Structure 1
Amino acid sequence: MSVKSFAAKIFARIVHAQTKKWADNPVETQQKVFAELIKKAQHTQFGKDHNFSAIKLYKDFTDNVPVRDYEQLKPYVERVVLGEPDILWPGKPLYFAKTSGTTSGAKYIPLTKESMPYHISAARNAILGYIHETGNTGFVDGKMIFLQGSPELDEKNGIKFGRLSGIVAHFVPAYLQKNRMPSWETNIIEDWETKVDTIVQETINEDMSVISGIPSWVQMYFEKLQQRAGKPVGKIFKNFNLFIYGGVNYEPYRAKFEKLIGRKVDSIELFPASEGFFAYQDSQAEKGMLLLLNSGIFYEFIKADEFFTEKPLRYTIGEIELGVNYVLIISTNAGLWGYNVGDTIAFTSLKPYRIIVTGRIKHYISAFGEHVIGKEVESALNQAMQGTGVSINEFTVAPQITPQSGLPYHEWLIEFENEPEDLNAFALTIDAAMRSQNTYYNDLITGNILHTVVITKVAKGGFQEYMKSIGRLGGQNKLPRLSNDRKIADALTVIK
């Protein structure tokens, strides 16, 4: 065992004990975070506007601070972007994470000296948790690759900004730098296809042991590696045994990945966002990711089916239930208050609190009142593929309200790697899985309001072509699993 492997095991044991301490006391931990946030921000402009000095209890907070999304918080954010101090959080941010908004244009999410360390420690602790559970340290001496945005940053009014993954690249510990790939010169390449080609060239002869990134874009990297070497990724990188991912559900990609790799590898799921690092998979045996309750974030939860009512109830960690779909609301040490992240989650465990991401509150299909969510379509597709040899590259779902003939239906646009022998039977299997999960959808089918699922095949590379056409190929960009309109579906129909 190398010195690095030995040290990793000791560090993993320490971090596990620290994590268990706060995870075993969730309510107290969150109460402490809440009190610290309010106290720290009471003299900011936001704190003065929302009477923070009088907030003693959680009810005081909900009475004074409404739930907001980025657009509603934007007047405060714009003042921070202009360089004003003490607006949302004391002083000025260290960075802005710039993200693409669907309704707000570019979004600038502040990262402060208090919040930034948690982005780094959470990713580190996810790996250390894996080491503690499995005892596997073989990967720590190999090379590690993180498919991410450019680390080159721009500046606005004295504050640097860029992609979160590019900002995080500046905080990689020195002991990992010599193992980390790709090179700085490769990482700053803006064109994603050129970047991936260069990464392939740079890594193909290296001893890669850990690979991390959004599954759809790692898949592109794996395909190019396989084309170049003429053999599975697992034979190119014989010591590759850990895949770290976040951003989208891995399950629809798993069969394709195992074929590209040529064997199974362990994986760790992360739940990072520009607004905060919320959770990571802490167990290979248990479902869900550990919600990080001690990371400068105070969490609230609103039931998704009540979210659009006039005054939905807001719940704290001690009040949630298993299996309920919640909208995630956060208040953070970066100055986001009662902030609607847009993600929906469900709890899989209460001791400790583990979650799965079920979708986006704005990404759903309810053209007929069915309110189908991302988790349901992903689960239905996984059930249909199970044991069939079918694998996919990408998919999305949209309603077809005005078909040329017959009843309206949900159209599934799928780019297959291995197609089913009987496409119609495969569609009916998906439909049955959807009906078993969503009673509203089932009622629409049985009531002859909707036709069963219709699958439209998308040509190989069609989804990448679509993402390229809208300027969102690569990096942290993700395709919505489902939409309540046909903007994406119609564009893909042309590509096919």
Structure 2
Amino acid sequence: MNAIEDSIKNPVGTQERVLFDNIKKAKHTIYGREFGFNEATTIQKFQNQVPAVHYEDFEPYIELARKGEKDVTWNGKIKWFAKSSGTTNAKSKFIPISNESLEDCHYAAGKTMFALYLNANPETEIFINKNLRIGGSSELFQKYETRFGDLSAILIDNLPFYAEMKNIPNREISLMSDWAQKMDAIINATKNESVGSLTGVPSWMLVVLNKMLTDTGKSNVHELWPNLEVFFHGGISFTPYAENYNLITGKKINYFELYNASEGFFGIQDQLNEKDMLLLLDNGIFYEFVPMEEFGSENTRYLTIGEVEVGKNYAMVITTNGGLWRYIIGDTVKFTSTNPHRIVVTGRTKHHINVFGEELMIDNAEAALKRACDKTNAIVSEYSAGPVFMQGKEKGAHEWIIEFDREPTNFEEFVDFLDKSLQEINSDYEAKRYNNMTLNRPIVHQAKPKLFIEWMASRGKLGGQNKVPRLSNTREFIEPLIALNQTNF
């Protein structure tokens, strides 16, 4: 906690130290020599000399490192690569995981997570009980003797023995690649244990817990694990799943939000009853923030931690001790506080709908869905939405497909509340909906049960860290979902 508090008191100095530590370690790499790391003696010089890049720009360097080349973007040889779920595009991404990023970013953040939770909840008993984790699979990239897999699999595969002792299921089960077999194995290995905490992605953890209750005949999770007190969750927004968890837990538990990704561990909730997260400034990651209204423009500003403002949407750019340099991660965040620096994740730079100038972000969508659910006693389990493009004199619209755990009392009222809530939350959407000027009323389809699991399975993205794409500026997700929904309804 002393170290965390030091970084809170001196955010600018902490971030400068992190950047120049990273530059020092990588200045003799291929990337460092190409972009003059030796001359990058100030933050401004660093920004002038090193380009801000997307994955596609950086990929040739990653491929070189994957083939076993040393000193490409980070000092030494990178052994591990985290295979992303490809939410930005259909192509898989391979994110380098150096020894420093493994130890000083991901594992250090895990220790920070427990420190912050203990600080917020001194009466915790989680260390007496076991932690149930839901991780991904690991595969060997045979040709070059470098390994890749889900980030969670890499973390599990390298955990120290003392951490492994407190986690269930064991390493062998956690790294299984067949999701159906893995789920059965997890249930058999954990149903008779004393579980005090859960760690994983909300969607897949919910699938496991529901099957656990079915298989054991228990009515709620509290009957199975009376000592369960907290769910550490990340990867996707918890908002669509909150009511589902309230229904199955059987008693009130704590929910602790994490902002972790293959590229790094960025933020952790530090207050029990507030869902914003403390930005981790001393984890080997240097941050830059692009105001969303400038993102992709010729006059883009890249702000550092001392220049951000509360309440504005920013695209996040990171430089990491894994060898990513000014990497545009694709997430958008908003600061709720600058003393200390706390954030909420508002969406993705590419996962929003802005075909008609409405700038609909994921946080808008989920807030509106919650209001519509509250009004119609519904529970949403999964959803996705995309645009209906204008044709001739036809106005545009948004098209949604929503899977319910509990159907609304009146479906048409649900759609009306969703539309009305979006207008109240998002003034740009409201302007486009005024008198149906640009946008017609949303088209909403009710999904058949388990549609999204069936669709994810058909894409080879079942389980682990895979995420359902929520919003898209194209129809690449909504069309196959609608087509699949019409089969064997």
- Cα shift readout 1:164-200 (whole Å, capped 9, x = no counterpart): 1111013333333233111233223212122112211
Given that 2:288 and 2:317 are in contact with CA atoms closer than 8 Å, whether structure 1 keeps it comes out as yes
Cα distance in 2 for partners of 1:350, 1:333 equals 24
Indicate whether 1:254 and 2:239 are aligned.
Answer: no
Cα 1:476/1:207, change in 2 over 3 Å: same
Contact 1:152 1:188 survives alignment (8 Å):
no
Aligned equivalent of 1:190: 177
Matches within 5 A, 1:176-215: 176-215=163-202
> Which amino acid counterpart does residue 493 of structure 1 have in structure 2?
I
Structure 1 residue 365: Cα displacement: 0.8
Aligned with residue 427 of structure 2, among 397, 415, 439: 439
Q: Which of these residues, 89, 113, 120, is aligned with residue 126 of structure 1? A: 113
Aligned to 1:469: 458
Q: Which amino acid aligns with 1:401?
A: F
- Residue of structure 1 aligned with 2:474, choices 473, 476, 485: 485
Counterpart residue number, 1:9: none
Which of 310, 321, 325 pairs up with 1:322?
310
d(CA) in 1 for partners of 2:22 and 2:213? 49
Tell me which residue corresponds to 2:149.
162
Q: Distance in 2 between matches of 1:228 and 1:191?
A: 19
Q: How many residues align?
A: 481
Q: Retained in 1: the 8 A contact 2:69–2:77?
A: yes
Q: Could you say what secondary structure the match of 1:139 adopts?
A: coil
**% identical equivalent positions:** 37
Shift of 1:257: 1.0
Asked whether the 8 Å contact 2:131–2:167 carries over to 1, the reply is: yes
Match of 2:417 in 1: 429
Query: Partners of 1:471 and 1:114 in 2: how far apart?
Result: 31
Determine helix, strand or coil for the equivalent of 1:318: helix
CA RMSD of aligned residues (A): 1.9
1:352 aligns with 2:340: yes
Q: Which residue of 2 aligns with 1:11?
A: none
Q: Distance in 2 between matches of 1:280 and 1:152?
A: 29
The 3 A distance-change label for structure 1 pair 490 and 48 is same
Question: Does residue 49 in structure 1 map to residue 34 in structure 2?
Answer: yes
Are residues 1:308 and 2:293 paired? no
SS in 2 for 1:429: helix
Cα pair 2:67 2:146 within 8 Å, conserved: no
SS at the partner of 1:91?
Answer: coil
Partner of 1:106: 92
Tell me how far 1:375 sits from its aligned partner: 1.1
Contact 1:76 1:87 in 2 (8 A): yes
Corresponding letter in the other structure for 2:133: F
1:454 is aligned to: 443
Aligned-pair CA distance for 1:364: 1.0
Deviations 1:298-326 (A, max 9, x none): 10010122112123111000000111111
Q: Secondary structure at the match of 1:323?
A: coil
1:26-425 to structure 2, matched below 5 A, reads 26-101=11-86, 103=89, 105-117=91-103, 118-151=105-138, 153-230=140-217, 231-386=219-374, 388-401=376-389, 407-425=395-413
Q: What amino acid sits opposite 1:85 in the alignment?
A: K
Paired residue type of 2:258:
L
Shift in CA distance, 305/193, structure 1 to aligned 2, threshold 3 Å: farther
Structure 1 residues 86 and 176 mapped into 2: Cα distance closer, same or farther (>3 Å)? closer
Query: 1:41 & 1:119 partners in 2: Cα distance?
Result: 19
CA contact 1:327–1:344 (8 Å) conserved in 2: yes
Query: Residues 405, 492 of structure 1: CA spacing in aligned structure 2 closer, same or farther, 3 A cutoff?
Result: farther
Compute the displacement of 1:242 (Å).
0.8
Deviation at 1:400, TM superposition (A): 2.1
Distance 1:104 1:468 in 2: 15
| Cα-to-partner distance string for 1:189-234 (whole Å, 9 max, x where unaligned) | 2121221122112212221111111111011011101211231112
Q: After superposition, give the CA deviation of every residue in 1:149-177 in whole Å (9 maximum; x if it has no partner).
A: 12554455343322211110133333332
Which segments of 5 or more consecutive residues in structure 1 lack a partner in the other structure? Answer: 1-15
Q: TM-score, normalised by structure 1?
A: 0.93
| Counterparts of 2:84 and 2:420, CA distance in 1 | 37
Give the distance between the partners of 2:465 and 2:66, measured in 1 at CA.
22
Deviation by residue 1:364-402 (Cα, 9 ceiling, x = unmatched): 112212121111101111222236532121111111236
* Distance in structure 2 (CA, Å) of the matches to 1:232 and 1:153: 39
Please give the secondary structure, in 1, of the residue aligned with 2:460. Answer: coil
- Contact 2:351–2:469, Cα closer than 8 Å, also in 1: yes
Q: Which structure 2 residue ranges, 5 or more long, are not aligned?
A: none
Equivalent residue letter for 2:340: P
8 Å CA contact 1:144, 1:209 repeated in 2 = yes
Range moving further from structure 2, 335-344 or 279-288: 279-288
The amino acid of 2:347's aligned partner reads G
